[in-house]
């Protein structure tokens, strides 16, 4: 039986006050399970980034309820004292730009967060090497980010997002800077990771060519979130 990892209940976000107030997300409710890869679609300005940053405990909702991996994060107010710690321990982030630290090697980029979480260097190095090997860049340990191709950089960024053994990966346009072949390769990799690692993955994307790779599709339009079910998808059990 699959586990609910992300539970969003009547989440709303308003920017501003009074007549200038803008309701960016309007009472969104949905659940995402372990081992699922879910697409978050919508035109620019529809609220996708607001929604994903609320799930990632970066943006504070205005109302509603958010649970991650069974723990209550928000219910009318933050229910955790340190949202940064939540992000370090529960969530991996992947961005359109890989955001690798330019003066650190590939290995150092991947081991940074685990060591911040108190993992010993020897253990962090070993786990990072295994991840990088799994992702096909195990021969790039001592390379600097400037020495990598775009696809290799994004694979290292994925390794970094997995380094803290998160239950959730949030990816914001992770393939936008890649050509079609590399974009497909990265999405296939994320799909494989969701199953192998039982991670819930949410991907903001504009690329509808990738939609067959997703288990479910959430569309954000004018702040409202609705679900599309792919023809071959089944409800998690």
22 class by beta-carbon count within 10 Å (0-12 exposed, 13-18 middle, 19+ buried): exposed
CA distances 185 to 158, 175, 188, Å, are 12, 9, 5
Instruction: State how far the Cα of 168 lies from the Cα of 52, in Å rounded to an integer.
Output: 12
Tell me the residue range of the domain where 219 lies. Answer: 4-228
Per-residue pLDDT, 158? 86
In a domain, 25, yes or no: yes
Per-residue pLDDT, 8? 97
In a domain, 236, yes or no: no
In a domain, 233, yes or no: no
Q: Count the domains in the chain.
A: 1
In a domain, 237, yes or no: no
In a domain, 45, yes or no: yes
In a domain, 234, yes or no: no
What are the residue ranges in the chain where pLDDT is below 70?
1, 229-237
Per-residue pLDDT, 164? 84
Per-residue pLDDT, 193? 83
Per-residue pLDDT, 104? 94
Q: Look up the CATH number of the domain holding residue 82.
A: 3.40.50.300
Report which secondary-structure segment, H or E, holds 143.
Answer: none
Per-residue pLDDT, 229? 63
């Amino acid at each position: 039986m699959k586990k609910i990892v992300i539970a969003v209940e009547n989440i709303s976000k308003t920017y501003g006050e009074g007549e200038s107030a803008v309701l960016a997300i309007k009472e969104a409710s949905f659940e995402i399970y372990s081992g699922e890869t879910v697409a978050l679609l919508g035109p620019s300005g529809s609220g996708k980034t607001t929604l994903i940053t609320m799930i990632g405990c970066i943006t504070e909702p205005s109302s509603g309820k958010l649970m991650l991996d069974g723990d209550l994060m928000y219910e009318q107010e933050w229910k955790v004292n340190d949202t940064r710690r939540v992000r370090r321990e529960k969530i991996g982030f992947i961005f359109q730009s890989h955001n690798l630290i330019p003066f650190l090697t590939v290995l150092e980029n991947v081991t940074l967060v685990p060591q911040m979480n108190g993992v010993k260097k020897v253990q962090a190095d070993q786990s990072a090497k295994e991840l990088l090997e799994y992702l096909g860049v195990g021969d790039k340990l001592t390379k600097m980010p400037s020495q990598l191709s775009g696809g290799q950089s994004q694979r290292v960024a994925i390794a970094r997002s997995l380094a803290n053994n998160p239950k959730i990966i949030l990816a914001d346009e992770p393939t936008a800077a890649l050509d079609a072949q590399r974009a497909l390769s990265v999405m296939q990799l994320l799909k494989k990771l969701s199953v192998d690692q039982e991670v819930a993955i949410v991907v903001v994307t504009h690329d509808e060519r990738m939609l067959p790779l997703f288990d479910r599709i959430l569309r954000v339009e004018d702040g409202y979130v609705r679900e599309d079910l792919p023809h071959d998808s089944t409800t998690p059990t």
